[in-house]
Structure 1
């Protein structure tokens, strides 16, 4: 089989190598799947750089999220059959950026029948993250104002759609007119091009000075700091990630004085500590997808040969929605 591997760490375009290797074997409780689609996530970029919270031993194949057809079962596996289509997170070092990958059987979820393999793969990390953040952590309510940063990106676009599905008023912040058009197509009520407008002023004007009830922030840095200027009384700021490259240092005295909450979200912990909740959320996401309330934005489909360049562009912030490796 062919797969992209890392034998050293650095920028994705420089360190990813397409190599021919043996097909992986499943361990106890694992599945080997034929990769139908694997979407490129920012954690894949961090894995290439050696900056992710887990550091697999080199060499390894990235690709943290995929949709695949089960081709082999390890021992101690039940409830899954060869031929089933599943989505889930890859069990590194055998990630989704190859022809075959490995998934832990107890974390494999049925692929949504209403979505393509690329869309189904995208329903995993990004939409699970957005759902847990908005509902379980922030308790988003109907009628509240939701401010979403990087709203044309993978997890931001999911937050826009799920916010609208929850009945909130969504303010989407993007960088550039092309991304603004996408945010509008996703259903955002108000779209702010950060290159041309100040989102703080827009939110304050929109809410009569009250501010946003929930802020969804996968960017960090100055974006987080500016968001504290337009957070409502008893508002909640969701810290999703730091795609901007800078980890902010919150002024806790400001949170105290203004009476807002700062909520961290590491969705991967739920797969370990509350796996049944992940299954329940997947059921809800499949329902929303079947009803047409959410549909992952696949902006580009690439072949295995062109994947390294796609990972680099995701890391450079030059993509929207999800870029997906698809089976040819």
Structure 2
């Protein structure tokens, strides 16, 4: 089978397309013929050894897949050859075939493409966990989303609206603002590119405050970090929740006096650990997502599809923060 491999730490240009032996399903595993694999920001970090998990090399990046079960290992029940599935793999998805624990699979609904399926779980499951479990988002709340045109950002817009929130989407370009509007955002703002000096940071804080309104944002969803974090925090409501989802713009340092003045919470969101520690709660969230998907209230926004040989280009586009929606690598027909 073909695989796009990281053999040494480095950027997307270091990935090589090679032939590997087909995997064999072990006990409790199935082999999935991968049809599509979506690209997420952890793929940028993991090949540079900057992610919290560092797989042994060589390895393939690619954290979520969709495909068809090709073989079933000993002890697996409820799955059969030919079943269409999706799964979050963490890494290893940019391959022709992958052996994976059956307990990590979810069924891909009929009528949904493999590209859509590969783009669903990581962004939406992260976001529903963030908004429900960590943000306690309720109908009528104001939700401020940074990086609102990326995969998790668009998911947050859709889920925020599904839960009855007023959604303020903050993005870095007019094209991204249009994408956020199309996803259902009530208000969009375009912020400048960091880094910011003190005056620019203050101006951005005022921009956030004007957009969320005088009561402030009940929940702030931040998958960006960097110099955007403190201005956003300054717009939070009394007893609001600031959700730390990621930091492609850098790891911010927040002045903790702001948390005292607003009596607010800064909440980390680590969906992978949550799913491993509480699989029943995660399953309930995924079931909810599939219901919303079937009702047309959410829909993965796949904006560009790449060939396997061009998987590095998809990761480079993600690293440049140029992506709108989800980037997906088509591994096979």
**Normalized against structure 1, the TM-score is what?**
0.95
Corresponding residue of 2:3: 3
Inter-partner Cα distance in structure 2 for 1:272 and 1:101: 20
Inter-partner Cα distance in structure 1 for 2:83 and 2:180: 34
Corresponding residue of 2:20: 21
Asked if 1:219 corresponds to 2:224, the answer is yes
1:302 touches 1:325 (CA, 8 Å); kept in 2?
yes
Inter-partner Cα distance in structure 1 for 2:165 and 2:37: 31
Deviations 1:30-86 (A, max 9, x none): 221011211001111111111111111111111110111011122222221111111
Corresponding residue of 1:111: 108
What secondary structure does 2:67 align onto? strand
RMSD (Å) for aligned C-alpha atoms: 1.6
Structure 2 residues without counterparts, runs of 5 or longer: 194-199
Asked if 1:155 corresponds to 2:160, the answer is no
**What is the correspondence of 1:203-282 to structure 2 with a 5 Å cutoff?**
203-244=208-249, 246-282=250-286
Inter-partner Cα distance in structure 1 for 2:29 and 2:267: 33
Corresponding residue of 1:176: 173
Corresponding residue of 1:283: 287
Label 1:46 to 1:91 Cα distance change in 2 as closer, same or farther (>3 A).
closer
**What is the correspondence of 1:25-64 to structure 2 with a 5 Å cutoff?**
25-64=24-63
Measure how far apart 1:208 and its partner are: 4.0
1:109 touches 1:279 (CA, 8 Å); kept in 2?
no
Corresponding residue of 1:304: 308
Measure how far apart 1:207 and its partner are: 4.6
Inter-partner Cα distance in structure 1 for 2:260 and 2:206: 22
Deviations 1:95-138 (A, max 9, x none): 11121123221111111335321111211100000000001111
Inter-partner Cα distance in structure 2 for 1:199 and 1:321: 24
Deviations 1:274-301 (A, max 9, x none): 1111211111111101111000110001
The number of aligned residues is: 324
Inter-partner Cα distance in structure 1 for 2:323 and 2:81: 35
Measure how far apart 1:314 and its partner are: 0.8
Query: Alignment partner for residue 118 of structure 2, among 121, 143, 152?
Result: 121
Inter-partner Cα distance in structure 2 for 1:304 and 1:202: 41
2:64 touches 2:90 (CA, 8 Å); kept in 1?
no
What secondary structure does 1:87 align onto? strand
Inter-partner Cα distance in structure 2 for 1:127 and 1:207: 23
Inter-partner Cα distance in structure 2 for 1:225 and 1:153: 20
